[in-house]
Structures are given as structure tokens and as C-alpha cells.
Structure 1
Amino acid sequence: MLKVLFIKPKSWVIRKVAVPPLGIMYIAAYLRDYFKDDIAIKIIDNRLCEYNEEELYGCIRDFEPSMVGISSITVEAEDMHAAARAAKRFNREIVVIAGGPHPTQYYDEVILDRNIDALVLGEGELTVLDLVKNYMSGKGYDGVKGILLLRDGRVIRTPARELIPNLDLLPFPAWDLIDIKAYSRIHSMSMAYPRKYMVLFTSRGCPYKCIYCHGLFGRAVRVRSVANVSKEIETLVNEYHISNFEIIDDIFNFDYTRAQEIMDFIISRPYKIKFSFPNGLRSDLLDYNMLHKMKKAGVVFISFAIETASKRMQQVIDKKVKLDKAKEAIRIASKLKILTNGFFMLGFPGETRQDMSLTIDFAVRSKLDTAYFFIVTPFKGTPIFENNKELIKNRFNNISYKNYSYFRGFFNLSDVQTNELIEIQQRAYLKFYFSPKRIIKIVIRFLRLEKGFFLLVDISLMMLLLIFMRKLDKTKCAA
């Protein structure tokens, strides 16, 4: 029997955050569906376990896998390399595969790690299946699409892997390979916690071309059928007793009719379930009918990714959100008593303090309950990085994955000084949260939620920490 170990690396964050690793869970389910009893699979989510390298080594030693797959985003890269090192230290014959957004975009750096044998570029199910089949038959990497190798000092990139056209053909994620309850005890991407929940992908891909996005799942939206999504929800409710869901599509409501039909299915069932959209909704495609239906279906939380309220910058970043429609969608959601959060970004190339002021004013005057103001981070492979290489090279030296963080912006591509940019971000948080009207609104909204007092304390501490942390960064810049 072949043993395969999947690892989701940890990263440094100002609070512990993790959601079930759907990408790995889909690949694990796909392998089991094909190989049946000829394969044994284990998943380690190191965001939960927080193992150091020695502890990871112990887990690998105990399981004795023949193959190790590591899925990583850039802020997890350091732990990805540690996991690969631990695997090879235990047994040099273990085949170590790395995939996910970081290896896909930073392939030229990751492949230099001698502890990593191959990279899976893009969507993983078909490619990993071929890799395992080849391993079991002794064919090495022959004929495997969508991978990158280092052979005799030469980088070899095989032909691109086609995307899966029919997502209904995928088995449901391997829920049994994770501790579902463990995720209810830490922060998810939603404000509506703590509770036993599961994340859902109902589609993959996004047709928009925002310059800061890597588009790992492609620019064509591939959707699962309403029947397939409905069956997954029913299975999770009936067999795993899940009553809370987070939908994390790139753009759930791109197909308006399909989105309504999924909500209609949920409304038609006798379940008392709740839904959150921590991302994945195009705000200017929402209207009263959709939001009312979402509320009726049990939606309790929506994040609105506005990014910038400058019409000029909306064109520059190629997001092109219709700001008036987005503002109206936020107002309607708030009126329906859906908890609302906004995501905003400061520091785009060419952005001025006037542009940033428009963004802050939009957030402050909106009906949002909470908001995050991030410093723009250009990731390799995205248009914002590729189109500004000279600017990045001139402004920053020795850029590495260690410079990337969830909440602390290292880069400044805007037209304002770095010290001022940090001050603007800090002022954004202060203006948004330190308004008597908003404070009263937040207190009332959160106290209505289950365990709302603890949520209120948590969000308050989080925002104070963000403000204080940026104050420290500003002091360092001044020094």
C-alpha cells in the first residue's frame, strides 16, 4: 500500500487563523477515489498543530510515507521548506512535491530547494494523480503535464495542465481526514465564529483581471451544478452535523441565476443552517432580490472587497467595481442585519493621498460593520508585480518570501512616502472604528450573535493590535 502525506504549512500571523485545507482535501479524495484500498493518506494541517521542524520529522517518521505533498501560499513558504527538509532528512527516497500559489508563482526559487523533487503548477487533482500513478508504475515523471523539475541544473517545465472542465466529476473533499471540530476553536475567515463549520468551493475561476490577483484557477468561471452543491450541503448536514458554512469561491455570484437557485434550495430545506461569504462575492452584482434571498437562506456575514474608492484607481487596478452599486449593496445588507465587512487596499502604483482619502471616506461613510485596510503587496506572477519590476527593484533590496505577511505591508508602490503611507493606514483604522455611532452599531450587532460578547472583545483587540503594530512600523521608518 502506498502512503501519501499531505502537509499544509503554518505561517506567522498576529492571531491563529486556519480553515479546512480544501485544496489538499480535494486531491486526497481524488486519489482515494482512483486507488481505493491501494493508498493510505494522511493530512497534517500545521496551522493547527504548529509543529516545529523536529516535530514534523517525528510525524513523518511515524507515518513513513513514500510521497509527501506540500501546499503553500507565500506567507507559508518558510514552513514549506522546513517540511520538505524534514521529509528528506528522514528518508532521501521520499518524493516531495510542492504545489499551491507560492510554488506556482515562485517556481524559479522554490525548485532550487534540493529537498523538493517537483512542483505542481496550478490546479492539482489531475497532476497529482498522474504523479502517483507514475510513481507506482516506476515511470518517474514521464508524460506528466503541469509540473516543473530541476534536472542536471536545468529547469524543465512540462506542457501546461488543462483545467478540469466539469467540476461535478470531482468527489467531495476528504472530510474524514481532518479534525473538523478543531477548526471551530480558532479563527476562520469569517467573523461569525466559534462554531463547527465547513468551507465550500461551488465554483473555480474568475473572469476579472485585477492586477493584484494570481488567478490560479484561471479566468474562465467553472461552476458546479446546483444539484452537486446541494448534495454536498445535505451530506455535510446529515452525516457530519454541520450547520455553518463558508463559501470561498473566487466569485460565487457571477452566474446570478445559479446563485439564486442554490439559495432557493437551501430555503426549501428544513435545515437551520447559516452561511458566510468571507470572500467571493462581486459587490456590484448584488441587488435587493439576491441579498434578501441570501438572508432568507441563512447568510449572516458578507465581506465586500472594494479595494479602492477612487474611480481612477479602479481603472488602474482593472477591478472596475461600480462604487455606487457596491455602496447600495452594503446598505441593503446592513438593513437586512447581515454582518458586513469591507476589504480595502492602500498603496497602489501611482496612488496619491487624495485617492487614499477617497477610499477611507467611502469606508467611514458606508454601513459596514468592520473593515480592513491593507498595504498593497505585489506577488510574483501578478500584473502588479510584472508591470512594476523596475519600480520594485529600485525601491526594495533583497526581497524574499520572508518579507510577505498577512497584515504588515513591506512594500510601498504609491506616490506617498512610506512613513506617510503607514500613517494613512493607521488613520484609516482610527477614523473607521473610533466613531461613536459605529461603536454603538458594532456593539449591538455583535451582542446579537451567538457568543457575541467574545466576538466583540476579539475584534476590538484585533483592531487595537493592528493600530499599535503600524505605530511601531512608523517609528521604525522614522528611525
Structure 2
Amino acid sequence: MGRVSCMANILLIKNRKREYTDHFLAVSPPLGVLYLAAYARDKRPGKDVFTIVDERVYAKTSREWEAYLKDLRPDVIGFSSMSIEQDQVDYLLPVFKRALPQAKIVIGGPLASSSGAGLLDEANIDFVVKGEGEIPFTGLLEALDGNEDYPLDRIAGLAFRDDSGSIIDNPPSKNRADLDALPYPAYDLINLQDYVGRDRMTPVRTSQLYAPLFTSRGCPYHCIYCHDIFSGKFRAMSAMRVVDEIEHMINAYGVHEFEVYDDIFNLDKQRVKDISAEIKKRGLETCFTFPNGVRGDILDRETLEALKDMGTVHMAFAIETASPRIQKVLRKNINLKKIRENISIAADLKIFTWGFLMMGLPQESRRELWKTIWFAASSKLHGAYFFPVVPFEGTELAQKYEEAIESDGEKRLWDYFSPEGALGAVGPRELAIMHSLAFFLFFFNPWRVYLIYTSGVAPFRRLVSLALGLVRYIAVDKVFYTLKTKARKVFKFRITPRTA
């Protein structure tokens, strides 16, 4: 393996999906690569120069990428990629190797964790970092510097080809980063203003500067559709460390609004209360949204009130299905009665509630599909997303339904909002119709309009804009996406993303 220079020039890229439905391109600061850069700078002071490019903000054509790379001349190029972004990674790899054949290309993120060493079948990839990236990526930089204390075959979670061409696939390490000791994300490498006013994970976006928070890793539940990047062991920052970071963001960047990305922020109820109390003690003005980070059925009124006291204005509830039988199939095992009760409490506290529900689940009957739609429509949820089930590679769901991953011998280009396949009793065409009906029945309901209008969480014109966006999605985007998918299969073409 070649060595990088003593002062390594490192380019970290947050990829985008190559084909997407414009209205639902969620863009938020790329926390994963911000942590990577911060950790490496902390452990290798003065050895690296980092540049971060977020493709979702600054899209480039292949010619623009070639010119950019030849000007920057990075020694190491790291891609942080979701599984749904693999089509863009595949598109960029030959472009990058053609422009800088000597640069080392590293793949990380959920794509690397799910596909693993199999990604090395692509000749343009040099290294794959699986699982949590801070420790193995920093170890890789040391190895490329020639540090003999970091032999490549002993860096846990790293996959690569040795000099003979054989694949070396190191198992993940049980030695994970101490979350309290992590440096703050390297926000100096991006412009937070780039993310203001864009569609993001929180559907009730504001025009305020905001930053993501990731205060815990791991989840003790074992849902069959979920990636296992952080392992099943729950690890959390202390309440003091969380509030220290919040205060740092307020003082250093003027950020008062935070979007929480934990898998299960509320697993430790006392920690939630301690964070809320410490924010109040320090007199910090904060606003929080939880587009992902809570398990809804283990909440209670006291915890919800603590969340409200710290400034929570939005919370997502991942219900997935209203069928107890399918809950067991998924191993989600949500207490449906309890989550409905907590949705009502949150709504009464003026927290804007949003539901996540899945359609086309394994063994799911037509009756169970309608039951899920009715659960959402009859609840106090202010909004909801109905997602066609996506069996991502590397998940137990994909392993059980392997045939669903491929179509005509090729991997499906899955989309969170447009069904291409179905694992239950309802076929893809009927599922697509029911998917549109679910949105229509949920949102075009006078009672729902009243709930949204009286929520007092977001400007009403923003909510109207969101509703019109959903109408466009149902009436135009889905039709266009379906036609585009069929055309792609017939003519074997792909649409190049527009530049920003």
C-alpha cells in the first residue's frame, strides 16, 4: 500500500442519491464526517488538512468533479454513503480514479456497514470502514503514514485488498469510542447557513440556524429492517456532556435550534430529565426537534413534559404497523395502545407529532394495511409519512427476503416513497394505489387541518406549503417517478442530478 504525505490532504464527501424525488430530498449537516474530521484532528494534531463537500448542497457534474479534484489534489477521499446512495457512489468512483489514480478511496457510512467487504468487488475502492468510523478511519490514516503501530490487518472494522489481491476483512472492534470524550463535531469545515431553509428531516422546518445532535449510539431492540451500525448496546453521553455541546454551539455559532438523531434518546428517562433540568439551570434558550430519536411507547407524561420544558416542538413516532401480528414479525413489538396515548399527550403539550408507518411489510394482508392507515388517520398525529418497506442489504429483512433486493438480475434502486416491490399479500401496483390513498385520507381530513392549524408550532403558510408539496407528490412526482423507472428499465439510462 502506498503512503500518503506527512501532511495528508483529506477530502470527505457526503453523498446524495443519484435519482430522487425533489420534494423529499432531506438535507442536514453531515454529522458523520464532521465527527470523523474532529476525531482525527484530535488524535493526529497538525498532520491532516480536511475538506468537506456535501453533494446534497453542492452537486457537481463529472467534469466539475475532475477539475475540482485536480485542483485540490487530496491524498485520501472518503465517501459517507447511505445504502440508497450507492448508485451515486458507483457513478463517481471511475471519475475520481481517472482524475487522481494515486488517491486512496475509502467508503464508510451505512452502505459500508451493510455491504461490507463486498464493496471491494469494485476495483476503484481501496478501503471499506464498517461500523463506527472514528477509530478505524484514524487508524487507517496512521497506517497510510507508515506508522508501524497500525498494521492494516489489525485495524478493526477495516476491509481492503492486500498486495496479492486477496480481500482482508477485519471484524469490527468491541472497543468503541467513549462518547463523553469525543471532540465536538468540526463545524468549522462547513457553513451552517447552507442548510437553513432547505427541506430537512424535521418536516416543520424554520428559517433559523440549526445543528444536529447525536447524544447516544446503539439500540437494544432488534427490528429486522434496521441496520446494525452501532451494535445493540446502548451507549449515551452524560447529561452534562450533552448540555456542554449545546452551550458550545450557542456560544460559538449562535445556534439555538437542535435536531436530535439518536436511535433512542429516551431509553434512559432520568438522563432526559437531567438534560432538561441542566438546560434550565444554565438559562439556555433552546429549541429541539426529534425527527428520529425516540421510542414512542416507552414515553410517559413526565418525560414528555421534561422534553417540552427544554423546548421540544416536534417529535416523530415510529409506529410502522398497527397489526400486533406484524409487530412481532418485525420484532418491533410496539405497545400500540401506549404509543397512541403518548401521541395524544404530546399533541396536547403543543408538540408537533409526526408518524412513521410502513406499507408492504412481510406477510401483511390487505386488512392489516388498512388497519395501519386507519390507526394514523384516527390518531392525534399532525402529520405522517407512509413508507413502502425497503429491505436494505445487510439487514435481517433483506436476508429473509433476498429475492426482493434484485429485479431482473440487478439491484433495485429503492426509494422511500415510491413502491417498486412488495413483500406482503398486496402486489406492487395495488400497494402504490394504497400508498397514495394513505396520504390522501390522512391529510385531506377537516379534523387534521384543524389539529395542524391549532398546533401553534410552525407558521401556517409553511404547513400549507407542506400540504401542497404532498399534493404535488401524489399527483405528479409519483407518476413521473413510475414512468422514469419503467423507462430506465427499458432504455437502461439514468438521469444525472442537477447542479446546485
3-state DSSP of counterpart to 1:343:
strand
1:191-210 correspondence runs (5 A): 191-194=203-206, 195-210=208-223
Whether the aligned pair in 2 keeps the contact of 1:25 and 1:173 (CA below 8 Å) is yes
Look up the match of 2:400: 387
1:150 and 2:158 correspond: no
SS of 2:168's partner is strand
State the alpha-carbon separation in 2 of the partners of residues 455 and 64 from structure 1: 45
Please give the secondary structure, in 2, of the residue aligned with 1:380: coil
Is 1:2 aligned to 2:8, yes or no?
yes
Tell me which residue corresponds to 1:346: 359
Residue matched to 2:468? 460
CA distance in 1: counterparts of 2:16 and 2:325, whole angstroms: 37
Distance in 2 (alpha carbons) for counterparts of 1:363 and 1:409: 19
Q: Which residue of 2 aligns with 1:184?
A: 196
Mean Cα deviation higher: 429-438 or 248-257: 429-438
Identity %, equivalent residues: 34
Change (3 A) 1:416 1:473: farther
Provide the residue aligned with 1:399 in structure 2: 410
CA distance in 1, matches of 2:330, 2:146: 47
Distance 2:484 2:98 in 1: 39
Q: Look up the SS of the partner of 1:149 in the other structure.
A: strand
Deviates more, 1:181-190 or 1:461-470: 461-470
Residue in structure 2 matched with residue 13 of structure 1 by the alignment:
20
How far, CA to CA, are the matches of 1:333 and 1:65 in structure 2?
48
1:109 Cα deviation after fit: 4.4
Q: CA deviation at 1:166?
A: 2.1
Aligned with 2:410: secondary structure? coil
- In structure 2, the CA distance between the partners of 1:2 and 1:473, relative to structure 1 (3 Å rule), is closer
**How far apart, CA to CA, are the structure 1 residues paired with 2:476 and 2:222?**
34
Match of 1:98 in 2: 107
Q: Is the 8 A contact 1:72 1:103 kept in 2?
A: yes
Give a deviation string over 1:304-328, Cα, whole Å, max 9, x none: 0000011111111000000011000
For residue 377 of structure 1, the aligned residue among 377, 390, 403 is 390
How many angstroms does 1:472 deviate by?
6.1
In structure 2, what residue type is equivalent to 1:61? K
2:426 aligns with 416
Residue pair 1:206, 1:251 contacting (<8 A) in 2 also: yes
Cα distance in 2 between the residues matched to 1:40 and 1:442: 47
Shift of 1:49: 0.4
Structure 1 residue 470 displacement after superposition: 4.0
Q: Deviations over 1:242-278 (max 9, x none)?
A: 0100111010001111111112112223222210000
How far the C-alpha of 1:399 sits from its partner, in A, is 3.4
Which residue is 1:356 aligned to? Answer: 369
Does the residue aligned with 1:44 lie in a helix, a strand or coil? strand
Distance change in 2, residues 1:245/1:473 (3 Å):
closer
- Tell me which residue corresponds to 2:492: none
How far the C-alpha of 1:124 sits from its partner, in A, is 0.4
Structure 1 residue identity aligned to 2:340: K
CA distance 1:317–1:467, shift in 2 (3 Å): farther
Supply the distance in 1 between the matched residues of 2:452 and 2:480 (Cα, whole angstroms). Answer: 27
The 1-side partners of 2:484 and 2:179 are apart by 49
Using the alignment, how far apart are the partners of 1:455 and 1:163 within structure 2? 45
Cα gap change, 1:236/1:254 in structure 2, threshold over 3 Å: closer, same or farther? same
SS of residue matched to 2:70: helix
CA contact (8 A) 2:352 2:457 kept: no
Could you tell me whether the CA contact under 8 Å between 1:20 and 1:198 is conserved in 2?
Answer: yes
Q: Which moved more, 1:436-445 or 1:309-318?
A: 436-445
Deviation at 1:357, TM superposition (A): 1.2
Q: Secondary structure at the match of 1:48?
A: coil
Change (3 A) 1:270 1:475: same
Q: Structure 2 counterpart of 1:8, which letter?
A: K
Q: What secondary structure sits across from 2:302 in the alignment? A: helix
Question: Shift of the alpha carbon at 1:94?
Answer: 0.7
- The one-letter code of the counterpart of 1:31 is A
Amino acid corresponding to residue 277 of structure 2 in structure 1: D
Residues 423-476 of structure 1, C-alpha deviations (whole Å, 9 max, x = no match)? 21121111111111212332343xx44544134213431344135444567899
| CA–CA distance in structure 1, aligned partners of residues 408 and 76 of structure 2 | 36
Compared CA separation, residues 28 and 473, structure 1 to 2 (3 A):
closer
Paired with 1:95 and 1:476, the residues of 2 have a C-alpha distance of 35
The answer to whether the 8 Å contact 1:419/1:478 transfers is no
Deviations 1:200-228 (A, max 9, x none): 01000001011100121110001111111
CA contact (8 A) 1:13 1:406 kept: no
Q: 1:125 aligns with which of 111, 120, 134?
A: 134
Match of 1:327 in 2: 340
Which of 265, 276, 285 matches 1:263?
Answer: 276
The corresponding residue for 2:451 is 441
| TM-score of the two chains, using structure 1 as the length reference | 0.94
How far apart are 1:138 and its partner, in Å?
6.4
Alignment of 1:276-295 (within 5 A): 276-295=289-308
Counterpart Cα distance in 1 of 2:37 and 2:384: 35
| TM-score after normalising by structure 2 | 0.90
Q: Deviations over 1:149-190 (max 9, x none)?
A: 234453221232224152112111101011111111311100
2:391–2:397 CA contact under 8 A, matched in 1: yes
Query: How many residues are aligned here?
Result: 474
Deviation at 1:367?
Answer: 0.3
**Change in CA separation of 1:303 and 1:360 when aligned onto 2, cut-off 3 Å:** same
**Does the C-alpha gap of structure 1 residues 431 and 398 become closer, same or farther in structure 2, counting only changes over 3 Å?**
same
**Aligned CA distance change for structure 1 residues 311 and 114 (closer, same or farther; 3 Å):** same
In structure 2, the CA distance between the partners of 1:309 and 1:333, relative to structure 1 (3 Å rule), is: same
**Matches of 1:341 and 1:222, distance apart in 2:** 26
Contact 2:390 2:416 in 1 (8 A): no
Please name the residue that 2:496 is paired with: none
Asked whether the equivalents of residues 308 and 359 of structure 1 are also in contact (C-alpha less than 8 Å), the reply is yes
Distance 1:123 1:466 in 2: 37
CA distance in 1, matches of 2:142, 2:350: 51
Structure 1 residue 82: Cα displacement: 3.5
Q: Is the 8 A contact 1:205 1:250 kept in 2?
A: yes
Contact 1:210 1:319 in 2 (8 A): yes
Q: Residue 225 of structure 2 aligns to which amino acid in structure 1?
A: Y
Closer, same or farther: CA 475–62 of 1 in aligned 2, 3 Å: closer
Larger mean CA deviation between 321-330 and 135-144 belongs to: 135-144
Give 5+ residue unaligned stretches, structure 2: 1-6, 488-500
Distance 2:482 2:84 in 1: 22
